[in-house]
Chains A and B, each alone.
Chain A
Amino acid sequence: MKLTLQFIPFSAIEPLSSFKRITKILSMIGEDKILLMQGRLRAEEEADLIEETMRKIGKSKKFKGIELAVFSPKSSNLPIGIYIRKSIADLLVGQQDVLTVIGPASIVREIKKDPTKMQLLLKGK
Protein backbone atom coordinates (compact mmCIF):
# COMPACT_ATOMS: atom_id res chain seq x y z
CA MET A 1 0.00 0.00 0.00
CA LYS A 2 1.35 3.43 -0.98
CA LEU A 3 1.07 6.24 1.57
CA THR A 4 1.63 9.88 0.57
CA LEU A 5 2.74 12.50 3.08
CA GLN A 6 2.20 15.92 1.52
CA PHE A 7 4.06 18.86 3.03
CA ILE A 8 2.28 22.22 2.78
CA PRO A 9 4.54 25.18 3.55
CA PHE A 10 3.14 28.20 5.38
CA SER A 11 3.72 30.30 2.24
CA ALA A 12 1.24 28.11 0.32
CA ILE A 13 -1.56 28.58 2.86
CA GLU A 14 -0.96 32.08 4.20
CA PRO A 15 -2.21 34.10 1.18
CA LEU A 16 -5.41 32.04 0.79
CA SER A 17 -8.81 33.00 2.16
CA SER A 18 -10.32 30.76 4.86
CA PHE A 19 -12.66 29.17 2.33
CA LYS A 20 -9.83 28.40 -0.09
CA ARG A 21 -7.65 26.98 2.68
CA ILE A 22 -10.37 24.55 3.70
CA THR A 23 -11.20 23.64 0.10
CA LYS A 24 -7.53 22.97 -0.62
CA ILE A 25 -7.10 20.81 2.50
CA LEU A 26 -10.21 18.73 1.83
CA SER A 27 -9.33 18.34 -1.83
CA MET A 28 -5.91 16.85 -0.93
CA ILE A 29 -7.44 14.69 1.80
CA GLY A 30 -9.82 13.41 -0.88
CA GLU A 31 -6.74 12.14 -2.74
CA ASP A 32 -5.90 9.98 0.32
CA LYS A 33 -2.90 12.10 1.28
CA ILE A 34 -1.75 12.78 4.83
CA LEU A 35 -1.02 16.49 5.11
CA LEU A 36 1.82 18.00 7.15
CA MET A 37 0.97 21.68 7.20
CA GLN A 38 3.33 24.34 8.48
CA GLY A 39 1.31 26.62 10.78
CA ARG A 40 -2.26 26.08 11.88
CA LEU A 41 -5.78 27.16 11.08
CA ARG A 42 -7.59 29.67 13.28
CA ALA A 43 -10.09 28.20 15.76
CA GLU A 44 -12.99 29.41 13.60
CA GLU A 45 -11.35 27.86 10.52
CA GLU A 46 -10.97 24.56 12.36
CA ALA A 47 -14.71 24.68 13.10
CA ASP A 48 -15.40 25.50 9.44
CA LEU A 49 -13.16 22.59 8.41
CA ILE A 50 -15.21 20.24 10.62
CA GLU A 51 -18.44 21.62 9.11
CA GLU A 52 -17.20 21.12 5.55
CA THR A 53 -15.92 17.66 6.48
CA MET A 54 -19.41 16.72 7.69
CA ARG A 55 -20.97 18.02 4.46
CA LYS A 56 -18.48 15.96 2.44
CA ILE A 57 -19.26 12.80 4.45
CA GLY A 58 -22.95 13.38 3.73
CA LYS A 59 -22.31 13.61 -0.01
CA SER A 60 -19.74 10.86 -0.44
CA LYS A 61 -19.95 7.11 0.11
CA LYS A 62 -16.19 6.65 0.49
CA PHE A 63 -15.24 9.67 2.61
CA LYS A 64 -15.48 9.03 6.38
CA GLY A 65 -13.97 12.24 7.73
CA ILE A 66 -10.60 13.42 8.95
CA GLU A 67 -8.14 12.99 11.79
CA LEU A 68 -6.61 16.28 12.88
CA ALA A 69 -3.87 17.25 15.32
CA VAL A 70 -1.80 20.37 15.92
CA PHE A 71 1.75 20.15 17.25
CA SER A 72 3.85 22.94 18.57
CA PRO A 73 7.39 21.97 19.57
CA LYS A 74 7.59 24.85 22.07
CA SER A 75 4.12 24.55 23.51
CA SER A 76 3.12 20.93 23.12
CA ASN A 77 3.49 20.39 26.87
CA LEU A 78 1.74 23.59 27.88
CA PRO A 79 -1.66 23.48 29.56
CA ILE A 80 -4.50 23.93 27.06
CA GLY A 81 -5.58 27.36 28.37
CA ILE A 82 -2.09 28.83 27.93
CA TYR A 83 -1.73 26.94 24.68
CA ILE A 84 -4.95 28.51 23.31
CA ARG A 85 -3.82 32.01 24.36
CA LYS A 86 -0.41 31.44 22.81
CA SER A 87 -2.14 30.22 19.66
CA ILE A 88 -4.19 33.41 19.39
CA ALA A 89 -1.05 35.53 19.90
CA ASP A 90 0.83 33.45 17.35
CA LEU A 91 -1.78 34.26 14.72
CA LEU A 92 -0.30 37.74 14.50
CA VAL A 93 3.09 36.44 13.44
CA GLY A 94 1.97 33.46 11.44
CA GLN A 95 2.88 30.67 13.86
CA GLN A 96 5.32 28.98 11.58
CA ASP A 97 6.80 26.79 14.31
CA VAL A 98 3.55 24.81 14.55
CA LEU A 99 2.76 21.71 12.53
CA THR A 100 -0.75 20.58 11.69
CA VAL A 101 -1.30 16.98 10.68
CA ILE A 102 -4.50 16.12 8.83
CA GLY A 103 -5.27 12.72 7.42
CA PRO A 104 -8.29 10.96 5.94
CA ALA A 105 -10.12 8.90 8.58
CA SER A 106 -10.24 6.01 6.10
CA ILE A 107 -6.43 5.73 6.46
CA VAL A 108 -5.56 7.34 9.83
CA ARG A 109 -7.34 5.67 12.73
CA GLU A 110 -5.98 7.99 15.42
CA ILE A 111 -3.29 10.60 16.01
CA LYS A 112 -1.77 10.35 19.48
CA LYS A 113 0.00 13.38 20.88
CA ASP A 114 2.82 13.46 23.38
CA PRO A 115 5.16 16.33 24.38
CA THR A 116 8.04 14.73 22.51
CA LYS A 117 6.46 12.68 19.74
CA MET A 118 3.39 12.05 17.65
CA GLN A 119 2.02 8.71 16.58
CA LEU A 120 -0.18 8.11 13.58
CA LEU A 121 -2.13 4.92 14.07
CA LEU A 122 -3.12 3.70 10.64
CA LYS A 123 -6.04 1.48 9.75
CA GLY A 124 -5.01 -2.10 8.95
CA LYS A 125 -6.00 -3.50 5.60
Chain B
Amino acid sequence: MVIKIIKNFVKRVFYNLFSIKRDIKLGFYGPPNAGKTSLANRLCKDWLGEELGKVSKIPHETREIQIKEKVEVKYNGKTLTLKLIDTPGIATKIDYEDFVKFGLSKKEAKTRAKEATKGVIESIKWLDDMDAVIVVLDATQNPYSQVNITIIGNLVARKIPVLIVANKIDLRKANIKRMESAFPEYDVVGLSAKFGKNLEEFYESLFKLVKKV
Protein backbone atom coordinates (compact mmCIF):
# COMPACT_ATOMS: atom_id res chain seq x y z
CA MET B 1 0.00 0.00 0.00
CA VAL B 2 2.70 2.53 1.07
CA ILE B 3 4.88 1.48 -1.88
CA LYS B 4 1.95 2.03 -4.28
CA ILE B 5 1.27 5.53 -2.86
CA ILE B 6 4.96 6.46 -3.26
CA LYS B 7 4.98 5.00 -6.80
CA ASN B 8 1.91 7.03 -7.79
CA PHE B 9 3.39 10.19 -6.22
CA VAL B 10 6.69 9.77 -8.11
CA LYS B 11 4.75 9.12 -11.34
CA ARG B 12 2.72 12.33 -10.89
CA VAL B 13 5.83 14.41 -10.10
CA PHE B 14 7.59 12.96 -13.15
CA TYR B 15 4.71 13.74 -15.48
CA ASN B 16 4.32 17.27 -14.09
CA LEU B 17 8.06 17.97 -14.15
CA PHE B 18 8.41 17.13 -17.82
CA SER B 19 4.92 18.43 -18.72
CA ILE B 20 4.04 15.11 -20.30
CA LYS B 21 0.43 15.13 -21.44
CA ARG B 22 -1.41 11.93 -20.74
CA ASP B 23 -4.97 10.79 -20.50
CA ILE B 24 -6.52 11.24 -17.08
CA LYS B 25 -7.68 7.97 -15.62
CA LEU B 26 -11.16 8.70 -14.29
CA GLY B 27 -12.77 5.96 -12.22
CA PHE B 28 -16.45 5.46 -11.48
CA TYR B 29 -16.91 3.98 -8.02
CA GLY B 30 -19.86 3.34 -5.75
CA PRO B 31 -22.24 0.73 -4.41
CA PRO B 32 -24.15 -1.55 -6.83
CA ASN B 33 -27.06 -0.06 -8.79
CA ALA B 34 -26.12 3.56 -8.10
CA GLY B 35 -25.78 4.32 -11.82
CA LYS B 36 -22.03 4.21 -12.45
CA THR B 37 -22.37 2.61 -15.87
CA SER B 38 -25.33 4.86 -16.76
CA LEU B 39 -23.18 7.92 -16.09
CA ALA B 40 -20.15 6.49 -17.91
CA ASN B 41 -22.48 5.65 -20.82
CA ARG B 42 -23.83 9.20 -20.81
CA LEU B 43 -20.28 10.59 -21.15
CA CYS B 44 -19.37 8.09 -23.85
CA LYS B 45 -22.58 8.74 -25.80
CA ASP B 46 -22.14 12.52 -25.55
CA TRP B 47 -18.51 12.53 -26.68
CA LEU B 48 -17.90 9.28 -28.57
CA GLY B 49 -21.37 8.44 -29.80
CA GLU B 50 -21.22 4.94 -28.34
CA GLU B 51 -21.93 3.30 -24.97
CA LEU B 52 -19.43 1.74 -22.58
CA GLY B 53 -21.45 -1.01 -20.91
CA LYS B 54 -24.80 -2.64 -20.32
CA VAL B 55 -27.11 -1.45 -17.57
CA SER B 56 -29.77 -3.43 -15.72
CA LYS B 57 -32.15 -3.23 -12.77
CA ILE B 58 -30.55 -6.40 -11.41
CA PRO B 59 -27.65 -5.47 -9.09
CA HIS B 60 -24.06 -6.28 -10.10
CA GLU B 61 -24.68 -5.97 -13.84
CA THR B 62 -21.10 -4.69 -14.18
CA ARG B 63 -18.89 -7.50 -12.95
CA GLU B 64 -15.68 -6.64 -14.77
CA ILE B 65 -13.71 -3.42 -15.16
CA GLN B 66 -14.79 -1.65 -18.36
CA ILE B 67 -12.50 0.87 -20.01
CA LYS B 68 -13.00 3.44 -22.71
CA GLU B 69 -9.86 5.23 -23.90
CA LYS B 70 -9.44 8.67 -25.46
CA VAL B 71 -12.75 10.21 -24.47
CA GLU B 72 -12.44 13.88 -25.36
CA VAL B 73 -14.74 16.05 -23.29
CA LYS B 74 -15.18 19.71 -24.24
CA TYR B 75 -16.57 22.40 -21.97
CA ASN B 76 -16.27 26.19 -22.10
CA GLY B 77 -13.58 26.06 -24.79
CA LYS B 78 -11.43 23.58 -22.85
CA THR B 79 -10.77 19.95 -23.74
CA LEU B 80 -10.04 16.99 -21.51
CA THR B 81 -8.84 13.61 -22.71
CA LEU B 82 -10.04 10.92 -20.35
CA LYS B 83 -9.60 7.22 -19.91
CA LEU B 84 -12.92 6.17 -18.36
CA ILE B 85 -12.79 3.23 -16.00
CA ASP B 86 -16.15 1.86 -14.95
CA THR B 87 -15.88 -0.45 -11.95
CA PRO B 88 -18.17 -3.12 -10.47
CA GLY B 89 -20.19 -1.95 -7.47
CA ILE B 90 -18.58 -2.44 -4.08
CA ALA B 91 -20.62 -4.40 -1.54
CA THR B 92 -19.98 -6.24 1.72
CA LYS B 93 -22.41 -9.06 0.94
CA ILE B 94 -23.53 -10.99 -2.12
CA ASP B 95 -26.28 -13.59 -1.96
CA TYR B 96 -27.27 -15.46 -5.11
CA GLU B 97 -30.85 -15.71 -3.79
CA ASP B 98 -31.22 -11.95 -4.24
CA PHE B 99 -30.69 -12.46 -7.98
CA VAL B 100 -33.25 -15.27 -8.09
CA LYS B 101 -35.82 -12.71 -6.87
CA PHE B 102 -35.17 -10.80 -10.11
CA GLY B 103 -36.15 -13.85 -12.15
CA LEU B 104 -32.74 -15.42 -12.77
CA SER B 105 -32.46 -19.21 -12.64
CA LYS B 106 -30.59 -20.67 -9.67
CA LYS B 107 -27.65 -21.54 -11.91
CA GLU B 108 -27.53 -18.08 -13.49
CA ALA B 109 -27.84 -16.44 -10.07
CA LYS B 110 -24.96 -18.49 -8.65
CA THR B 111 -22.74 -17.65 -11.61
CA ARG B 112 -23.64 -13.97 -11.29
CA ALA B 113 -22.86 -14.03 -7.54
CA LYS B 114 -19.49 -15.66 -8.15
CA GLU B 115 -18.58 -13.13 -10.83
CA ALA B 116 -19.82 -10.28 -8.63
CA THR B 117 -17.48 -11.27 -5.77
CA LYS B 118 -14.53 -11.21 -8.20
CA GLY B 119 -15.74 -7.84 -9.50
CA VAL B 120 -15.68 -6.27 -6.03
CA ILE B 121 -12.10 -7.50 -5.52
CA GLU B 122 -11.10 -6.04 -8.91
CA SER B 123 -12.68 -2.67 -8.09
CA ILE B 124 -10.70 -2.41 -4.86
CA LYS B 125 -7.45 -3.43 -6.57
CA TRP B 126 -7.94 -0.74 -9.24
CA LEU B 127 -8.21 2.05 -6.66
CA ASP B 128 -4.44 2.57 -6.77
CA ASP B 129 -4.48 3.18 -10.52
CA MET B 130 -6.93 6.10 -10.58
CA ASP B 131 -6.01 9.75 -11.13
CA ALA B 132 -9.46 11.00 -10.08
CA VAL B 133 -12.67 9.29 -9.04
CA ILE B 134 -16.36 10.01 -9.39
CA VAL B 135 -18.20 8.36 -6.53
CA VAL B 136 -21.68 7.66 -7.83
CA LEU B 137 -24.35 7.34 -5.15
CA ASP B 138 -28.08 6.75 -5.40
CA ALA B 139 -29.75 9.95 -4.14
CA THR B 140 -32.74 7.94 -2.92
CA GLN B 141 -30.58 5.88 -0.53
CA ASN B 142 -28.98 6.61 2.86
CA PRO B 143 -25.60 8.29 2.17
CA TYR B 144 -24.13 7.16 5.52
CA SER B 145 -23.72 3.53 4.48
CA GLN B 146 -20.37 2.07 5.54
CA VAL B 147 -19.49 1.10 1.96
CA ASN B 148 -19.65 4.79 0.93
CA ILE B 149 -17.47 5.76 3.90
CA THR B 150 -14.98 2.99 3.13
CA ILE B 151 -14.71 4.00 -0.55
CA ILE B 152 -14.21 7.70 0.24
CA GLY B 153 -11.86 6.90 3.13
CA ASN B 154 -9.68 4.83 0.79
CA LEU B 155 -9.59 7.61 -1.82
CA VAL B 156 -8.63 10.17 0.86
CA ALA B 157 -5.89 7.83 2.13
CA ARG B 158 -4.53 7.55 -1.43
CA LYS B 159 -4.85 11.32 -2.03
CA ILE B 160 -7.07 10.78 -5.08
CA PRO B 161 -9.38 13.72 -5.92
CA VAL B 162 -13.08 12.90 -5.51
CA LEU B 163 -16.30 14.20 -7.01
CA ILE B 164 -19.55 12.90 -5.56
CA VAL B 165 -22.48 12.42 -7.88
CA ALA B 166 -25.95 12.03 -6.36
CA ASN B 167 -27.65 10.15 -9.17
CA LYS B 168 -31.35 9.47 -9.83
CA ILE B 169 -32.59 12.98 -8.96
CA ASP B 170 -35.49 12.30 -11.32
CA LEU B 171 -36.97 10.00 -8.67
CA ARG B 172 -39.40 11.39 -6.10
CA LYS B 173 -37.52 9.88 -3.15
CA ALA B 174 -34.22 11.53 -4.14
CA ASN B 175 -32.83 13.75 -1.39
CA ILE B 176 -29.98 15.90 -2.65
CA LYS B 177 -29.90 18.03 0.54
CA ARG B 178 -29.17 14.94 2.64
CA MET B 179 -26.31 14.05 0.27
CA GLU B 180 -24.86 17.56 0.47
CA SER B 181 -25.06 17.66 4.25
CA ALA B 182 -23.38 14.25 4.47
CA PHE B 183 -20.46 15.39 2.29
CA PRO B 184 -19.98 19.14 2.93
CA GLU B 185 -16.26 18.98 2.13
CA TYR B 186 -16.84 17.58 -1.34
CA ASP B 187 -18.39 18.87 -4.49
CA VAL B 188 -21.74 17.06 -4.73
CA VAL B 189 -23.57 17.18 -8.04
CA GLY B 190 -27.13 15.95 -8.30
CA LEU B 191 -28.06 14.57 -11.71
CA SER B 192 -30.00 11.99 -13.59
CA ALA B 193 -27.68 9.92 -15.78
CA LYS B 194 -30.69 8.14 -17.26
CA PHE B 195 -32.40 11.32 -18.47
CA GLY B 196 -29.33 13.54 -18.85
CA LYS B 197 -30.57 16.02 -16.25
CA ASN B 198 -28.16 18.65 -14.82
CA LEU B 199 -25.16 17.57 -16.92
CA GLU B 200 -23.93 21.16 -17.35
CA GLU B 201 -23.14 21.39 -13.64
CA PHE B 202 -21.58 17.92 -13.79
CA TYR B 203 -19.18 18.87 -16.61
CA GLU B 204 -18.22 22.05 -14.77
CA SER B 205 -17.42 20.01 -11.62
CA LEU B 206 -15.59 17.41 -13.70
CA PHE B 207 -13.22 20.05 -15.06
CA LYS B 208 -12.66 21.37 -11.52
CA LEU B 209 -11.94 17.82 -10.35
CA VAL B 210 -9.25 17.07 -12.93
CA LYS B 211 -7.49 20.34 -12.09
CA LYS B 212 -6.67 18.73 -8.73
CA VAL B 213 -4.87 15.79 -10.41
The stretch that binds A, out of B19-27, B47-55, B118-126, B201-209, is B118-126
Take A47-B124, A58-B117 as given contacts and tell me if A80 and B93 are in contact as well, using a CB distance cutoff of 8 Å. Answer: no
The stretch that binds A, out of B32-40, B74-82, B143-151, B189-197, is B143-151
CB interface residues, A 59-116, toward B, < 8 Å: 64-70, 79-85, 87-88, 105, 111-113
**Residue on B nearest A65 in the bound complex, by CB:** B93
Take A44-B154, A82-B185, A113-B144 as given contacts and tell me if A105 and B120 are in contact as well, using a CB distance cutoff of 8 Å. Answer: no
Give the distance to chain A from B48, nearest Cβ to Cβ, in Å.
31
Question: Residue B185 contacts which of A64, A68, A79 (CB distance < 8 angstroms)?
Answer: A79
Contact residues of A: prevailing secondary structure: helix
Take A54-B117, A57-B117, A88-B156 as given contacts and tell me if A80 and B92 are in contact as well, using a CB distance cutoff of 8 Å. Answer: no
In the complex, B136 has a CB within 8 A of chain A? no
Give the distance to chain B from A121, nearest Cβ to Cβ, in Å.
13
Q: Is the beta-carbon distance between B157 and A44 smaller than 8 angstroms?
A: yes
Give the CA-CA distance A66 to B183 in the complex, in Å.
25
In the complex, B10 has a CB within 8 A of chain A? no
Q: Is the beta-carbon distance between A81 and B184 smaller than 8 angstroms?
A: yes
Q: Is the beta-carbon distance between B182 and A50 smaller than 8 angstroms?
A: no
Q: Is the beta-carbon distance between B124 and A80 smaller than 8 angstroms?
A: no
Give the distance to chain B from A56, nearest Cβ to Cβ, in Å.
9
Question: Residue B94 contacts which of A64, A70, A82 (CB distance < 8 angstroms)?
Answer: A64
Q: Is the beta-carbon distance between A80 and B143 smaller than 8 angstroms?
A: yes
Give the distance to chain A from B185, nearest Cβ to Cβ, in Å.
3
Q: Which residues of B lie under 8 Å from residue A47 when comparing CB positions?
A: 124, 127, 150, 154
In the complex, B181 has a CB within 8 A of chain A? yes
CB interface residues, A 29-57, toward B, < 8 Å: 42-44, 46-47, 50-51, 53-55, 57
A-B pairs with beta carbons under 8 Å apart, 5 shown: A43-B153, A46-B146, A65-B92, A80-B152, A84-B153
Q: 6 nearest interchain CB pairs? A: A65-B93, A81-B185, A43-B153, A105-B93, A54-B117, A64-B95
15 more contacts with CB within 8 A, not counting A46-B154, A65-B92, A81-B185, are A43-B156, A50-B92, A51-B124, A53-B93, A54-B117, A54-B118, A69-B146, A79-B182, A80-B144, A80-B149, A80-B152, A84-B149, A85-B185, A111-B146, A113-B142
